[in-house]
Structure 1
Amino acid sequence: MIKSEYRKRDALDFARILYNKELTPLELMECAISRAEEVNPKINALCNLNFEHGRELARSATLKGRFGALPFLLKDSGLAYPELLNSFGSRLFAGLKINFNSTLTHRFLEDGLLPFGRTTVPEFSMAPTTEAVQNGGPTRNPWDRTRSPGGSSGGAGAAVAAGIVPLAHGSDGGGSIRIPASCCGIYGLKPSRGLIPAGPARGEGWGGLATDGVLSRSVRDTAAALDGVAGMEIGAPYAAPSKTSPYAFEIDKPFKRPRRIAMWSIGFEDIPVDPECFAALRTAKALLEKMGHEIVDAPLPPINFSKFVEAQINVMAANVTVTVNGKVRNDPSSGWQEKLEPAILDAYRRGKALSAETYALAIARFHTIGRQLETYIRDYDFILTPTLMQPPAELGVITTDDDFFGFRTKISRYATFLAIINASGQPAASLPLHWSESGLPIGVQLIAPFGGEADLLRMSARLEEAQPWFDRVPDI
């Protein structure tokens, strides 16, 4: 398969080709490896690569699942898979091997996805850019290499946008799927809390904020991937509503009535929306109205945003402390602090000093926001927002060379509408419907009620039909 042809197909199209025996799994894996070798030196999106393992998987592959035997990338966020080392974007954890498969990894494998490497993340997935020291330099946006592809799934977003793979694993604890989707001009959906398994080694991430998913270039690929991995896990602390039929079937169904959509055009505490991000919002509004849906310029729900940001900071800091202590508690050697970036080391110290009461109150605030937002959305079918308040950040602007509170507060003004949806547990997607005058992708976010993935995917598919983005690829 020639390089130009490889980039013109999505994951399901490759699956069709594999099942039709027009291409072998090894030939397809070689396409992905070749593309990785060609473009990764320019964008630094991949780490912990194991090309020989990918080839071995492909040679022995029996076509199965929705994707047959598709080259795939796992995020360097600790998703357990023994054949690919981890670092969590941290020098402290470089070379970590986890000797079992997570439930999610198992479901990926059973659906015909073949991992041959991991994608870069910021340290402990704590940033909306991907500039970890462990990565040997920043991960760069394929559309403009002076800018970030987002984070924390920044490597995944860059790899999909640059055509290394059509589909990649991501995770989202405060916007980490939706931010790279917006910055890289691709599709990214954060599922409802409890829809995607987190076990067996843990029940939740970041107090219930975090979940896993994928980034893709087509809505149908994300729908198919969710069909393969969604579903309650035995012993899990959360469960999202069960789907009534496969998402891949649902996306083709028409809406039986026009939808009522709340639009948020100004941030909490009057955080401003950049004109390009506002233009993206107007683009989405016009497309939806042309389809016959009602868009309401709605008031924001009465969320105390500063208190939420503080709660998020405290829960994240507590989790940094747990993660680091798991590594160093029984390590008599000194100097491990030097392996952590400044904001992350500050987060460790903050988490270590955190009281049980403060942590419990932070979790209670997340639950309150969940009730507020689910009550709010009863008057609507969706909420429409800018994904980010600004275009993709320039490299070096949002860095860990700061205290943790200042670092995360800066992030809250960049990704204002994202982490609150992690607190509510509702599904949300970033759609690439607008490009700036300078050629940067600018996403819009669509939020659905809890468990509303089918409707969210269906509306995403209608928007994709109205304003296709698949053929918009960066020149790299």
Structure 2
Amino acid sequence: MNTGDYENHDGLALAGLLERGEVDSTELMDCAIALAEQRNPALNFLIHSQFETSRRIAAEWAPRGAFRGIPFLLKDSGFAHRRFPSSIGSRLFRDTVFDFDATVANRFESAGFIPFARTTVPELCMAGTTDAARNGGATLNPWDRRLSAGGSSGGAAAAVAARVVPVAHGSDGGGSIRIPAACCGVYGLKPSRGRVPMGPSRGEGWAGMSTDGVLSISVRDTAAALDAIGGYEPGAPYAAPPQAGSYLEAVREQHIVPMRVGVLRRAWNGIAIAPECDAAVDFTVSLLEGLGHQVVELAPPPIDYDGFVHAHGSILAGNIVVAVHNRMKVLGRVVREDELEPVILDGWHVGQALDAAAYIDAVSRLHAVGRAFATAMADVDLLLTPTLTQLPCPVDYLSLAGGDRLGFRAYRQRAASYSTFLPVINGAGIPAASLPLHWTDREIPVATQLIGHFGREDTVLTVSAQLERAAPWAHHRPKFG
């Protein structure tokens, strides 16, 4: 197989070739590595590569799982894997090694994924762009290199959009799968709280806001991956409702059961929504109605949005303090200020000033958001919103380098006006997906977000697949020289 053929297949299609003996895992790994070597220098989406070791593993691989033995990328999120160190986009955490594998790392392997590198992230995964001194600068958008690839799973989204791999690991604690999926024109699902375990070393991330998942070319790849990595882990503090059946079978279902979809066209606090993002919602509404679904206009759930943004920031700041404290215990010294990006350094100071009461109040605000969304969605099956309020932002707009002197709290406010409809979904703990259904005349993706009830990834995935069939996006490819 050559790289041109490889790029034309999603993950399950490559798995089918493996199943039929038309290719082997070594050929696929060679294609993925060749594309990575060609395209990473221009975009900067890879770190901690292990090409030769991964080739040897592919050569000895015994086919298994839905994906049989296809190339894969892990996010540099501190996700434990014995073979790959992690820096979490940080000079302070540079090259952290593990003596165990995360539960989901083992589930990825059982699913038939062979990782060969990690993908870039901003420092501590706390930005809606991927720009870190540790990574040598920004990860660029394959569609327009003046734009951000999004974050924090920006490297994963850029790699999938560049067709280096059809599926890549991501995580989402405030939009970190859906922001880069929107920026790079790929599919990204944030699962429900408790759907994907975080063990064995952690029970939750960011007060239950964070979850692992994948970004992919196709809806069916995400469905098959979630079949593999989802499910309760004994001892975990959260559990999503058990899935009724296979997510992959749900997206294959051709019969359309009409659903009631609420659409949110306004944001909280009068935050402006770009005309292109409004147009993407209109286009998605037309597709839904053409499929036989009923679309109704809804007002945004009545939440204290400023209070939520402050609470979200407090939880992140508290996590900065814990992460830095634990790292200093390992290193046996105090942190140097030049080891943290300016916005994260200020967040560290903010976190040190927080007390237990502030943290408990922040968590309570997350729970209030969950109740508000449950009430607002009582009469609908799904919600539709823009994914972002604006087109993909310039590379430096959300940089943690703090070139415009924004402090941590002001930075969180800026982020909240860009990814307005995303962190609230993490607070609510409900599933949501970003779909690249609409494109500008300049071939810039403009995504919409589909939100489901708690534990109902099946509904989000099923309707996502219907929309993908109605307006396919896989033929949109960024150009490389």
TM-score range, shorter chain: over 0.9
Asked whether 1:341 is paired with 2:345, we answer no
What do the CA deviations read for 1:251-305 (whole angstroms, capped 9, x no partner)?
A: 1225664211111111111101001111101110111111121111211111000
Is 1:237 the equivalent of 2:237?
yes
Q: Residue 422 in 1 paired to residue 426 in 2?
A: yes
Residue-by-residue CA offset, 1:69-121 (whole Å, 9 max, x unaligned): 11100000011101111000000011111111000000001111001100000
1:443 aligns with 2:447: yes
TM alignment of 1:168-179, pairs within 5 A: 168-179=168-179
CA distance in 2, matches of 1:310, 1:378: 27
Judging changes above 3 Å, is the alpha-carbon distance between structure 1 residues 320 and 334 closer, same or farther for their aligned structure 2 residues?
closer
* Match of residue 19 from structure 2: 19
SS in 1 for 2:418: coil
Find the aligned partners of 1:211 and 1:334 in 2 and give their Cα distance. 30
Q: Give the aligned partner of residue 249 of structure 1.
A: 249
Structure 1 segment 449-464 matched on structure 2, within 5 A = 449-464=453-468
Conserved? CA contact 1:84–1:97, under 8 Å: yes
Tell me, in whole angstroms, the C-alpha distance in 2 between the residues paired with 1:280 and 1:107. 35
Q: What secondary structure, in the 3-state scheme, does the structure 1 residue paired with 2:362 have? A: helix
TM-score of the superposition, structure 1-length normalised?
A: 0.98
**Does 2:40 match 1:36?**
no
Larger mean Cα displacement after TM superposition, 194-203 or 326-335: 326-335
SS at match of 2:378: helix
Cα distance in 2 for partners of 1:255, 1:285 equals 19
**For residues 310 and 333 of structure 1, what CA distance do their matches in structure 2 show?**
31
Which string of whole-angstrom CA distances, capped at 9 and with x for unpartnered residues, describes residues 307-326 of structure 1?
00000000000001000110
> Could you tell me how far apart the structure 1 residues matched to 2:384 and 2:279 are?
13
Task: Say if 1:262 and 1:255 are closer, same or farther in 2 by CA, change over 3 A.
Answer: farther
How do 1:265-304 and structure 2 match up within 5 A? 265-304=265-304
How does 1:317-396 map onto structure 2 within 5 Å?
317-329=317-329, 331-333=331-333, 336-396=336-396
Task: Please list, as runs of the form range in 1=range in 2, the aligned pairs for 1:460-475 lying within 5 A after superposition.
Answer: 460-475=464-479
SS of residue paired to 2:67: coil
CA separation in 1, counterparts of 2:219 and 2:475? 14
Distance 1:440 1:256, change over 3 A: closer
Identity %: 47
Structure 2 CA distance for aligned equivalents of residues 22 and 160 of structure 1: 23
Root mean square deviation of aligned Cα? 1.1
Cα pair distance change 1:254/1:17, threshold 3 Å = closer
Number of the residue aligned with 2:4 = 4
**Structure 1 unmatched ranges of 5 or more:** none
Q: 1:465 to 1:343 in 2, by over 3 A?
A: same
Query: 2:417 maps to what in 1?
Result: 413
How high is the TM-score relative to the length of structure 2? 0.97
Structure 1 residue aligned with 2:78: 78
Once the two structures are TM-superposed, the CA of residue 334 in structure 1 deviates from its matched residue by 5.2
Superposed CA deviations along residues 154-174 of structure 1, whole A, max 9, x for unmatched, are 000000000110000000000
| Structure 1 residues 20 and 256: alpha-carbon distance in aligned structure 2, compared to 1, 3 A threshold | closer
Deviation at 1:143, TM superposition (A): 0.4
Q: What is the deviation of 1:437?
A: 2.2
Number of equivalences? 476
Contact 1:196–1:213 (CA under 8 A) maintained in structure 2: yes
Asked if structure 2 preserves the Cα contact closer than 8 Å seen for 1:53 and 1:83, the reply is no
What CA distance in whole angstroms lies between the structure 2 residues aligned with 1:30 and 1:306? 49
Note the alpha carbon deviations across 1:105-154, whole angstroms, 9 max, x for none.
00001111001100000000000000111110110000001111100000
For residue 225 of structure 1, what is the aligned residue in structure 2?
A: 225
The aligned counterpart of 1:434 is 438
Against the structure 1 CA distance between its residues 255 and 318, is the aligned structure 2 distance closer, same or farther, given a 3 Å change threshold?
farther
- Alpha-carbon distance change, 256 to 35 in structure 1, aligned in 2, over 3 angstroms: closer
Residues 334-364 of structure 1 show CA distances to partners (whole Å, capped at 9, x for unaligned) of 5622110011011111111111000000001
Label 1:299 to 1:20 Cα distance change in 2 as closer, same or farther (>3 A): same
Tell me the distance in 2 between the aligned counterparts of 1:356 and 1:82: 34
SS in structure 1 of the partner of residue 261 of structure 2: strand
Match of 1:309 in 2: 309
1:453: how far off?
Answer: 0.7
How far apart, CA to CA, are the structure 2 residues paired with 1:147 and 1:242? 40
CA distance in 2, matches of 1:462, 1:333: 55
Deviation string, structure 1 residues 171-217 (Cα, Å, up to 9, x no partner)? 00000000111111110000000000100000000000000100001
Q: One-letter code of the match for 2:415? A: I
**Which residue does 1:110 correspond to in 2?**
110
SS at match of 1:206: coil
**Distance (whole Å) between structure 2 residues aligned to residue 82 and residue 330 of structure 1:** 18
Correspondence for 2:51? 51
SS of equivalent to 2:146: coil
Q: Tell whether the 8 Å contact from 1:399 to 1:407 is kept in structure 2 after alignment.
A: no
Whole-angstrom CA distance in 2 between matches of 1:397 and 1:281 = 24
Tell me the alpha carbon deviations over residues 424-448 of structure 1, each in whole angstroms, 9 at most, x when there is no partner.
1100000001111222101000000
